A = this chain, B = another copy of it.
């Protein structure tokens, strides 16, 4: 029986995905293949295939032409699959050990064939369970330094960089961020999602014009500053970990934006976990130990980022002004300030905006959950408003600690 040729986009099925992969020669035609769909079904189909003769495994990730969020469905470009896979390829050139391998990109099907990382767990899940990952900070700091340096004007000719800005123009997915991170949480918006008990704190936020002015400035940076190719959604659900390995996945929000946005997204989600653990870990000693670990992750991630970025800059910057005294430190200072501000926006949006995090929402005791969410709002606001006064990462960590003690 011949395998049916598929020539136009259609959602893959448990059956057709096997043909799809065999036609590409990634699994021999004669192999028996076990296949399951393991995605959450909101934006993408994710299939895991096992060649039963060799036990070789593969992931096929296919974009769906719509997004499902809280029961609603809206059309969403398939072009994001191209952006995601091309962003992964860029990262693979720079930090091959920190991203899944890309075996194939199929533009017709908006599908990417990827290395299977089933031996890893999602970092968010690991952190919620109180697990520590000794390589995490070093790996993420390294990932951030390589990707944020090597895709910028410091490392590329302006002509090459402008080509990539066009290549990674991602209006639809950027709009999700523009709306759900930077806008809706700060106004009475239908997409917001918070328990009624938080209304006083939320109303206070909406009336806080000093805060809104700072958020407007941060949003403007997100809209205009094409500094580097970002992951675009670097929360702890976009990181796979195991004891000795870290993999950054899912860069479908990739675009050219301000460096601090990726670092801030990661820090925000570590901070959200820190706040949640205040209520989750009952044993004081264990809690303090784990929270100290989380703050060390922030501190070490920044230090590794900063040192690696500086070394890359000194070794390989093509920008003629690169050696001018103070220039790389200026770039790092701006990135740090932006990081703190973007982290603050992300903490707030994950608390009262459309998309939440399990760290907070999974706190079983509802009063404790409300307390944690109030602490998150307070911390987010403080990060945004104080970002210009915080000059080093120890002060940042201190702000997080003191806002939650």
> Per-position contact with B for A144-182: 1 when CB-CB < 8 Å, else 0?
000000000100001101110110010110110010000
Contact flag A321-B215 (CB < 8 Å), given A153-B223, A224-B226, A225-B225: yes
Please determine whether B187 and A219 come into contact, CB atoms closer than 8 angstroms. no
Instruction: Note all chain B residues with C-beta closer than 8 A to A153.
Output: 220, 223-224
Interface size counted on chain A using CB atoms at 8 A: 39
In the bound complex, what is the Cα–Cα distance between A327 and B175 (angstroms)? 21
> Per-position contact with B for A222-246: 1 when CB-CB < 8 Å, else 0?
0111110000000000000000000
How many copies of this chain? 2
Q: Out of B172, B187, B220, B324, which one reaches A320, CB within 8 Å?
A: B187
In the bound complex, what is the Cα–Cα distance between A174 and B159 (angstroms)? 9
Q: Out of B163, B216, B320, which one reaches A327, CB within 8 Å?
A: B216
Please determine whether A224 and B227 come into contact, CB atoms closer than 8 angstroms. yes
> Per-position contact with B for A298-330: 1 when CB-CB < 8 Å, else 0?
000000000000000000000111001111001
Majority secondary structure of chain A interface residues (helix, strand, loop or mixed): helix
Please determine whether B171 and A169 come into contact, CB atoms closer than 8 angstroms. no
In the bound complex, what is the Cα–Cα distance between A165 and B169 (angstroms)? 9
**Residue of chain B at shortest CB distance from A327:** B216
Query: Does A183 sit within 8 A of B, measured CB to CB?
Result: yes
Please determine whether B324 and A209 come into contact, CB atoms closer than 8 angstroms. yes
A148 smallest CB distance to B (angstroms): 13
Please determine whether B162 and A171 come into contact, CB atoms closer than 8 angstroms. yes
> Per-position contact with B for A195-232: 1 when CB-CB < 8 Å, else 0?
00000000000000100110111011001111100000
**Residue of chain B at shortest CB distance from A167:** B166
Please determine whether B224 and A325 come into contact, CB atoms closer than 8 angstroms. no
Instruction: Note all chain B residues with C-beta closer than 8 A to A169.
Output: 162, 165-166
A255 smallest CB distance to B (angstroms): 9
Q: Out of B162, B166, B324, which one reaches A213, CB within 8 Å?
A: B324
9 A-B pairs with the lowest CB-CB distances in the bound complex, closest first: A216-B321, A162-B171, A159-B171, A212-B324, A153-B223, A209-B325, A213-B326, A216-B327, A224-B226
A/B interface sample: 7 pairs, CB < 8 A:
A158-B171, A158-B174, A183-B320, A213-B330, A215-B321, A219-B321, A225-B225
